[in-house]
Structure 1
Amino acid sequence: MFADSDFRQDSKTAGDDGLGPDTPKRQVLIAPPLAPELPPASREGLSFLTVVAIIVLAGLAHLTGAPIFITIGLLATGLGGLMMHLRNQRTERRAALLLDETAARSRAEIETLADRMWEMQESEERFRGLIDALGDLVVHRDRDGHIVYANKVFASLVDTDQRDLAGKTLSELGIDVGVVPDAAFSDHECLSSTDVAIRTPNGPRWFSWIELSVRDRDTGAVSHRAIARDITARKRAESSLITARERAEYASQAKSRFLATVSHEIRTPMNGIMGMAKLLADTDLSPEQRTYVGAVSTSASSLLALIEDLLDYSKIEAGRFDPEPQPTSLREIADNIIELLAAKAFSKNIGLGCHVEPDVPQMITADPGRVRQVLLNLIGNAVKFTDAGGVLLTVSRARSESADRICFTIADTGPGLREEDMERIFEEFEQSDGTSTRVHGGAGLGLAISKRLVIAMGGTISVSSRLGEGSEFVFDIPATAATEPPQYRRSILSDRRAVIVSRNAVEADAIARTIRAHGGGVEIAATPDQAAAFAAGCNVLLVDAALENSDGRLLKRLRQSGFVDCEAVTLIAPADRGMLGEFRANGYATFLARPVRGETLLRVLLTSHVPAPAEPQPQPRGATSARRRDQGLSVLIAEDNDINAMLARATLLKAGHRVKIVGNGKAAVEAVTDAGLKHRFDVVLMDLHMPVMDGLDAIAAIRRHEEALAVPPVPIMVLSADSQEKTRHTVLAHGASGFVTKPLDPDALVQAVESQAAA
């Protein structure tokens, strides 16, 4: 037994600890009585009197002469009662001790429970304080959506007393976070995560709202717990960024339109400069005058190339570059680029070669224009910076289980790059020679444009170099929808053994690699004496025309040194085509034009045992023009710029065609519709931008007239300085037959007109 007054006093003292009214106070607990209390004295007095009475009765019985058994019985009863009394006292004493121990333990447990409840209360207060201090909204709702608990931050946000929130729903407070489906409830599953706008007295605020389901382990009841973080500042920043991006896009579009307009305006006078320089070069000029005309043409070409780079870079920078995949022949692209840059390479007396591995697909799906542009930039740069040796293009295929790619490698023997140059060579307006006295011109945009184009096509580009030993640029693109080459290509030259006699190591190496890749044998010699060692077994002799004399002495010497039965093929530069007759007369069976096309090389080697037909002798331009005048085409030119019109007229007249010029689209429509079938034009050249009626409207009017009369459509070629793909598609969609880009190249113009008329 124990008195609970001490516990009451302790509890009271704990409650009156001097803390302020807002400080959480310890709860006062009063323990119930542990056992009913009996008056110990009365219980002990009853037992003692009973024993005394029995003993007294035993004595009286003995004194009165009562039977002995009565005396003995009473005495035994008294002694037994005394023993029982003593035993009961001992038992009660033990019970009291046990009860005291139990009471002490219970009191200790109650004290412990009280302490734990106090700690839990403190922990809860700390937890709530932490939740409020974080600044996040915390809302606990039951399954029906009624608020069970909400922190002070939420109450302050909705301007409601925290105690008044219990039982309300979010919709009653003007907050819509959507309906949570019952099927979504599971232990701690994220039901939703969304951005929610909440109206407040200070205006709307944005929160990142996350809903969680919470299941009670004991009852299985499921409730909502929401945590929301204020993202108003982020939303405002996003809005500012969107506005800034829209403004930047608008500025970029305005810049692109400006560049396109300026490009058109620049191309128009450039067309006159380049075209007139070309026509002037075909007249009788003194050597000094010819030098000046050449300088004008070179300067105009350089300026035009710079304009093209600036336009391409502007389009890529503005994100307006979209690849246009279509079936593409890599061999044709590679050969065309090499031929295009051959004149520049030969003028520097350096070699230019191309080798395409046999396993390269016949066709892939890619953007041929962009592949051509990257190759033109990289090979053009290599030719520009190489003053000795040459440039070699290699096209190969890299296949693995996860990828199939086409690799282009451009290796040169130029000055090479320093380590620091290789790190920045693909940046805008950078060149390896960044000094103000640099030898080579250019704006430094070609490589930057090439890198962006390659990345846009899904490829990579890199460079490796050693100073003084040349550079090697490598880029790759996916081999999408590849058309596999025939398997027999690897062995089609198995019965051919060739010897190349040339001092141009780069071109000779390209030819040799092509022959070996297709199963043939080949050796390279720089002199006739070196070639003599390879005469045995040779059946094809390839001789650089630059080593041959006009009388064929080199070939005669080679014949004498063992190449008796070999068919001789001369490797001739375009400038030396006029000497083909002399080479044939001296014993050469046929020729290969430098730089050598891979497919042409294979065809010549496969047919080298068959006598080649005689090549037609080149004729002067005057003879060709005379023939054309007898059957010249009737061409209508619609051009408002007098210089451009005069240039096109002079070019076509020189080619033997008849020309009529009008100054606007309306006049062009009238000229075509009034001509009739008997005097109809064979080709119409239509400028895109003209007064009165522009080119597109004129084309549409002409096509409507032809459709109404059911007459064949006249070929209409659009003349424009706007070289964008979008413009090409637009004019073709309006009924144009083709597109000619300004500045006009006289030869290209004549070829375009004649091909359209023939079609």
Structure 2
Amino acid sequence: MSPIPVEQMPFYLLGLAAVLLLGIEAWRRAAARARAHRDEIEILQTRIETLRDEKWAIAEREERYRDLVRAQGDLILRKDLQGRLTYVNDVFCDTFGRDRTEVIGHPFVPELPEGQRPRMLASFAGLATPPYRIRYDERTLTARGARWIAWEEFAIRDDDGKLIEIQAVGRDVTDRKETEERLAEALQQAKDANRAKSLFLATMSHEIRTPMNGVIGMTKLLLDTKLNPSQRSYAEAVRASGEALLNIINDILDYSKIEAGKVTLDEVSFDPRAVIESVAELLAPRAFDKNLEVVTEISPSVPRSILGDEARIRQILLNLAGNAIKFTVEGGVALRLLRAENGSGGRADLVFEVEDTGIGMDEQAREHIFDEFAQADQSHARRYEGTGLGLAITKRLAGAMGGRVEVESEQGRGSIFRVSMPLRRAIGESDAPFPAPLSGLRAIILNDHPLVGRALARAAEAAGAETHLVSGREALTAALRSAPADIFICPLDGAEGEGAALAAHARTLSPDIGTLLLLRPQDRARLDELTSGENAPFDGYLVRPVRAASLVARMTALRVRGWMPGAGAPETQDYEEGIAEEAAPPPLVAISPLTVLVAEDNEINALLTRTLLEHTGHEVRLARNGLEAVAALEADTDEEIDLVLMDLHMPGMDGFEATARIRGLETPHAHIPVIALTANAMADDRQACLDAGMDDYLSKPVAAEALSETLVRWAGRRSPCGGAPANASGEKANHA
């Protein structure tokens, strides 16, 4: 190679430099491309790793889903548009004993017991409308026999909302179905038992109330005759006991309503004082048999007329006071009537208290005493019998009337049951102060029994008297020597000995003092020797438990007759003669005499009804059963019979059938008023009578007032029931 001339060397070097520069640039670009490829490779490798992770996660989720489906106890299947199975889970295969390969691609309808129609859908017909799913139970034949399957079918849609498959999920609910069947069977048995109980109660009600009708009704007739005070007292006791038994029967019939919380309450005007005193008198014989005292204490602020359910309040008091007597061995029971401090305006919130000196209760017993079948003594050796339902019923009744029941008690120290009752004063009742007829009178009371002494003192003080309690002869002597007294009150026999001796001692110290004897009903035989004659130790007597009105009346009578110091002894007069001479029960309302056909199979009840009617001038015709009643109307061609009193339960033909026969007569008697006369007292009895074509309802025992009102209401009227047309004067019956 020839050397490069010197003059060309610069150009040569420049070319060489340019070549070097081009090579360096090419290398740089190649290096950049290499780096870019390397980065792309790293990104691809990262993406590949991510895809591998996602694939693994998807595989893991799929495996978890498969495990979940395999572990699922429900049957799962899917069907395509032609009803062919596209998927079934293992539970499906195990349940029906089929292999997956046998069923996929084929239609499926479960095999059912004979006589059942399949309900599983073979198309989308039932899933085309909201909520796009259906549920039903179906009894299906499986590899384990007939089983109840609860199916739920719903539509599967693609992203465009197009229906593509049906999915069905079934759950074996055989155990639930069997339980439901057993519960349904038990419920039916309970309903049957309840119907049997209702029938039993209705039957027993009729069988018991029928003779009770005779007892109470004939006793009322007896009370309308002339009786001496003792006879009247005995007859009143029979009447009160009969009515109490009747109330018990009514309570038993009403117990199912109490259990269900459906207690029917009446609001009538009544005197709460009379209620609490009558309860004490009713329970007094039971208390006296146990040598217990029963007293009543009534606050002067209690109004004499309030609005409420008198029968329910009486039932509450009977339960509480009866329990108190049962669980008291010595001492007594006090029934108190107080007025709550928060009563204002037209309200007269009252508090009824029943205090006893009985066995008491510990804290555990107090917590459960109002539970059903609970008693303070729950041991097997308990001395006190009873069902333990009384207090539970009491609490429910009080709650139904908006009240509440509380108890205070200590073991061995007695109990106080307190019932707070929100009530309203009757119209016209005010808070005006009560008169004080005993104002200025001083009485000494032997506190032989603290319950009795305190109760008498409070009653006398409420009427304006000044009272002084003494514990015995020495205290009586000191009281009479310290200040003169007008009246001395003591029991016949007490801890301080013969009451007559104490009365004589009081007269020795204060010759002009009046003396009153506290007498138990069974001691009436000694009245003549104790209150009659010039030397009789007592000027009068009060029967225990003493009513406040009787105490005030007796003390007032002594004052009015001048039995004050220095006035001389008055003639002895039995205060109870005033009671004996009270007006007889008001007669039936006077209406024109009617001819009444009485269909009654019980001779005593027939006699009672006949007597009530004949006493007011009505003519009575008797029929012993429904057949005779229908025959009597058919024979009454002159239409003399104006009204029929129809007993419901009679032999041969009962009152319902007889009424139907009467309504089918082709004579005007088809529209004769028929009044149901029955001892039944169930809630539906009245409506049943009206539905049977009767016009009104009288429940036995028949009260003279109720019978009078019924006769007045139907005299001269015709019944709208019956096949024959009513006459022009017929009126529509008032079934209200």
Q: Do Structure 1 and Structure 2 share a fold, with TM-score over 0.5?
A: yes
Amino acid at match of 1:392: L
Displacement of 1:250 in angstroms is 1.0
> Which shifted more, 545-554 or 440-449?
545-554
Amino acid at match of 1:664: N
Change (3 A) 1:354 1:92: farther
Which aligned pairs between 1:481-560 and structure 2 lie closer than 5 A?
Answer: 489=431, 502=445, 503=447, 505-506=450-451, 525-526=469-470, 546=491
CA distances 1:664-723 after superposition (whole Å, capped 9, x unpaired): 345457779989999989x99764421244345667889999x95899979x68352x34
Give the corresponding residue for 1:718.
Answer: 677
Displacement of 1:350 in angstroms is 1.0
Amino acid at match of 2:431: R
Give the corresponding residue for 1:85.
Answer: 23
**Pairing partner for 1:663 from 624, 630, 634:** 624
Q: Which of the two has higher C-alpha Rg?
A: 1
Give the corresponding residue for 2:601.
Answer: 640
Give the corresponding residue for 1:53.
Answer: none
Matched position secondary structure for 1:107: helix
Asked whether the 8 Å contact 1:355–1:511 carries over to 2, the reply is no
Residue 327 (str. 1) matches residue 327 (str. 2): no
Give the corresponding residue for 1:152.
Answer: 89
Give the corresponding residue for 2:185.
Answer: 243
Give the corresponding residue for 2:199.
Answer: 257
Which aligned pairs between 1:298-697 and structure 2 lie closer than 5 A?
Answer: 308=249, 311-312=252-253, 315=256, 322-329=262-269, 331-332=271-272, 333-334=275-276, 336-342=278-284, 344-345=286-287, 348-353=291-296, 355=298, 369-386=311-328, 387-394=330-337, 408-417=352-361, 422=366, 432=376, 442=386, 444-447=388-391, 449-450=393-394, 463-474=407-418, 479=422, 489=431, 502=445, 503=447, 505-506=450-451, 525-526=469-470, 546=491, 618=577, 638-642=599-603, 662-667=623-628, 687-695=647-655
Give the corresponding residue for 1:40.
Answer: none
Instruction: Output the CA distance in 1 between the equivalents of 2:637 and 2:506.
Output: 61
Instruction: Output the CA distance in 2 between the equivalents of 1:304 and 1:559.
Output: 48
Change (3 A) 1:228 1:737: same
CA distances 1:187-236 after superposition (whole Å, capped 9, x unpaired): xxxx99x85346867589554869999999xx999999999673633244
Instruction: Output the CA distance in 1 between the equivalents of 2:125 and 2:686.
Output: 54
Instruction: Output the CA distance in 2 between the equivalents of 1:700 and 1:593.
Output: 54
Give the corresponding residue for 2:725.
Answer: none
Give the corresponding residue for 2:130.
Answer: 180
Amino acid at match of 1:246: Q
Give the corresponding residue for 1:119.
Answer: 57
Matched position secondary structure for 2:317: helix
Amino acid at match of 1:388: G
Amino acid at match of 1:133: A
Residue 76 (str. 1) matches residue 14 (str. 2): yes
Which aligned pairs between 1:18-37 and structure 2 lie closer than 5 A?
Answer: none
> Which shifted more, 519-528 or 332-341?
519-528
**Larger helix proportion of the pair:** 1
Change (3 A) 1:708 1:549: farther
Give the corresponding residue for 2:685.
Answer: 727
CA distances 1:362-410 after superposition (whole Å, capped 9, x unpaired): 7566x6544433332222222343342223244666989xxx9976543
Asked whether the 8 Å contact 2:362–2:411 carries over to 1, the reply is yes
CA distances 1:4-40 after superposition (whole Å, capped 9, x unpaired): xxxxxxxxxxxxxxxxxxxxxxxxxxxxxxxxxxxxx
Change (3 A) 1:673 1:137: same
RMSD: 7.3
CA distances 1:61-110 after superposition (whole Å, capped 9, x unpaired): x63x4x82x43123112123224423543553454355335423431331
Amino acid at match of 2:625: N
Asked whether the 8 Å contact 1:499–1:531 carries over to 2, the reply is no
Amino acid at match of 1:230: R
Instruction: Output the CA distance in 1 between the equivalents of 2:37 and 2:551.
Output: 116
Displacement of 1:414 in angstroms is 2.1
Matched position secondary structure for 2:331: coil
Asked whether the 8 Å contact 1:306–1:442 carries over to 2, the reply is no
Residue 230 (str. 1) matches residue 171 (str. 2): yes
Change (3 A) 1:405 1:622: closer
Instruction: Output the CA distance in 2 between the equivalents of 1:572 and 1:711.
Output: 60
Change (3 A) 1:258 1:133: same
Asked whether the 8 Å contact 2:647–2:678 carries over to 1, the reply is yes
Instruction: Output the CA distance in 1 between the equivalents of 2:169 and 2:305.
Output: 60
Amino acid at match of 1:724: M
Displacement of 1:534 in angstroms is 12
Matched position secondary structure for 1:326: coil
Asked whether the 8 Å contact 1:128–1:151 carries over to 2, the reply is no
Change (3 A) 1:673 1:618: farther
Amino acid at match of 1:694: D
Change (3 A) 1:668 1:302: closer
Instruction: Output the CA distance in 2 between the equivalents of 1:392 and 1:314.
Output: 25
Instruction: Output the CA distance in 2 between the equivalents of 1:162 and 1:247.
Output: 48
Change (3 A) 1:651 1:487: closer
Instruction: Output the CA distance in 1 between the equivalents of 2:540 and 2:33.
Output: 132
Give unpaired runs (5+ residues) of structure 1.
1-58, 182-190, 283-289, 742-747
Instruction: Output the CA distance in 2 between the equivalents of 1:409 and 1:484.
Output: 22
Instruction: Output the CA distance in 2 between the equivalents of 1:163 and 1:331.
Output: 87
Matched position secondary structure for 2:71: helix
Instruction: Output the CA distance in 1 between the equivalents of 2:441 and 2:560.
Output: 17
Asked whether the 8 Å contact 1:500–1:523 carries over to 2, the reply is yes
Change (3 A) 1:270 1:661: same
Instruction: Output the CA distance in 2 between the equivalents of 1:622 and 1:490.
Output: 31
Matched position secondary structure for 1:130: helix
Asked whether the 8 Å contact 1:325–1:368 carries over to 2, the reply is no
Give unpaired runs (5+ residues) of structure 2.
108-119, 225-230, 493-498, 563-572, 714-736
Asked whether the 8 Å contact 1:542–1:571 carries over to 2, the reply is no
Instruction: Output the CA distance in 2 between the equivalents of 1:85 and 1:419.
Output: 110
Matched position secondary structure for 1:230: strand
Instruction: Output the CA distance in 2 between the equivalents of 1:224 and 1:523.
Output: 99
Which aligned pairs between 1:277-288 and structure 2 lie closer than 5 A?
Answer: none
For these two proteins, the number of residue pairs brought into alignment is 631
Asked whether the 8 Å contact 2:600–2:606 carries over to 1, the reply is yes
Asked whether the 8 Å contact 1:717–1:740 carries over to 2, the reply is no
Asked whether the 8 Å contact 2:639–2:669 carries over to 1, the reply is no
Asked whether the 8 Å contact 1:581–1:617 carries over to 2, the reply is no
Instruction: Output the CA distance in 1 between the equivalents of 2:491 and 2:357.
Output: 21
Instruction: Output the CA distance in 1 between the equivalents of 2:658 and 2:75.
Output: 67
Give the corresponding residue for 2:567.
Answer: none
Amino acid at match of 2:17: L
CA distances 1:128-154 after superposition (whole Å, capped 9, x unpaired): 431452234779999x9x999987379
TM-score (norm 2): 0.59
Instruction: Output the CA distance in 1 between the equivalents of 2:326 and 2:640.
Output: 50
Amino acid at match of 1:466: E
Instruction: Output the CA distance in 2 between the equivalents of 1:490 and 1:210.
Output: 78
